Amino acid sequence: MKWSHFFTSAVGRKIVMALTGLFLISFLIVHVGLNSCIFNDLPYFDHNDNGSMFNRAAHFMGASLVIRIMEIGLLAGILLHIIQGYAVEVKNRSMRSKGYQVNLGSRGSTWMSRSMALLGTLVFLYLVIHVAQFWWPSRVSHDLEKVTYNGIEMHNLYLRMYEVFQHGWVVILYLVGVAALGFHLLHGFHSAFRSIGVHNKKYLFMLKSLGYGFSIVVCLLFALMPVSMYLNWVSPFN
């Protein structure tokens, strides 16, 4: 069987979606872990941190060649997931030229499982805004304020976050984006494992539970970031 056909058949396309999806899930673990460093500024931990832990972690990620190379892999993964995702959706939608008068609707399936393309599109739009607000200024245009720790000068990404999340509408936009990501993951996490062939019911139950837990915890942490800055639970000025 030719490789081109292997990856473009009805099953192959889904295997590509699953593998890139799982890769992006692994990225989310790193991303949410690193960004959670902002919570070190909470009074419960170190109220005088003022974002130094987060800034230094972000600097480590930006300065490390390995991470920068992995960024290219990440970009490729995201693009493949988006392009293949739309290709699958367009193809699937074209398979029923004439629809039903009365639809099956939610009998037997969840809303998010039927709305992965819509949710994915919302996540994509959110991603464009997110990249423009943070990744672009820190990696490309370098127009962020500088801060120095232990004699090493670096971007004050924490300050940038704080400034961005002082606007209520931005916080709401982020919450919508994170919610879309959460619903996308609620179906995507276990569905990805099913697509690559996990059929053992014992593992499927485990993966479904893990997927629900993962989606809720990751999205809750992401949602708390803009909220805690907007409400000044953490800030660069303590």
Partner 1 sequence: MEHYNMNLTLKVWRQPNKTSDGKFETYQVKNISSEMSFLEMFDVLNEQLVMEGRDPIAFDHDCREGICGMCSMFINGRPHGPWHATTTCQLHMRAFKDGDTIVVEPWRANGFPVIKDLVTDRTSFDRIIQAGGFISVNTGNAVDGNAIPIEKDHADASFAAAACIACGACVAACKNASASLFLSAKVAHLGLLPQGYPEKKNRVLSMVSQMDKEGFGSCTFTGACEAVCPKEISITNISRMHKDYLFAGLSSEK
Binding site for partner 1 (CB under 8 A): 1, 5-6, 9-15, 88, 91-105, 107-110, 113-114, 116, 187, 191, 194-199, 201, 204
Q: Report the alpha-carbon distance of residue 53 to residue 58 in Å, rounded.
A: 9
Geometric angle at alpha carbon 183, from 194 and 32, rounded to 5°:
95
Q: For partner 1, which is the closer residue by CB, 92 or 232?
A: 92
The CA dihedral of 75, 78, 79, 84, to the nearest 10 degrees, is 160
Report in angstroms how near the CB of residue 105 gets to partner 1 at its nearest.
7
Report in angstroms how near the CB of residue 119 gets to partner 1 at its nearest.
12
Q: Which phi and psi (to 5°) does residue 48 adopt?
A: -95, 10
Q: Report the alpha-carbon distance of residue 58 to residue 14 in Å, rounded.
A: 34
Q: For partner 1, which is the closer residue by CB, 106 or 238?
A: 106
Q: How many CB atoms lie within 10 A of CB 133?
A: 17
Report in angstroms how near the CB of residue 78 gets to partner 1 at its nearest.
20
Report in angstroms how near the CB of residue 197 gets to partner 1 at its nearest.
3
Q: For partner 1, which is the closer residue by CB, 174 or 193?
A: 193
For residue 144 the two structure tokens come to 């962020």
Q: For partner 1, which is the closer residue by CB, 5 or 72?
A: 5
